[in-house]
Structure 1
Amino acid sequence: METAITFSIFICSLLVGITLYSVYVSFGPQSKELKDPFEEHED
């Protein structure tokens, strides 16, 4: 039972970490360098 709890905590923390990292990349200081491909090809 203890192994299952440890494993589930690891999976949950990994999921939260990936989510926080993706939000940081999307809205953080580096977001100025990201380009929107739909805006580049509008007529």
Structure 2
Amino acid sequence: MDSATVLSISLGAILVAVTGFAVYTSFGPPSKQLSDPFEDHED
């Protein structure tokens, strides 16, 4: 394969992996450990 094709596929795979990890962290089981800084400090 052409090196540009390999690079494009690699960058696309990395982008999908990072996006999937961000969605899992935001909405999956680890989201229970996240804190909301606006709820922590009442005015």
**Smaller-chain TM-score range?**
0.7 to 0.9
- 1:1-43 to 2 correspondence within 5 Å? 2-43=2-43
User: Per-residue displacement from partner, 1:1-43 (whole Å, max 9, x unpaired)?
Assistant: 7100010100011001000001000111111111000111123
Structure 1 stretches of 4+ with a deviation exceeding 3 A read none
* Corresponding pairs, count: 43
Per the normalisation by structure 2, the TM-score is 0.88
Q: What residue identity is the alignment partner of 1:21?
A: F
Unpaired segments ≥5 residues, structure 2:
none
The alignment-based identity, stated in percent, is 53
Q: Distance in 2 between matches of 1:18 and 1:30?
A: 16
Q: Distance in 1 between matches of 2:18 and 2:5?
A: 20
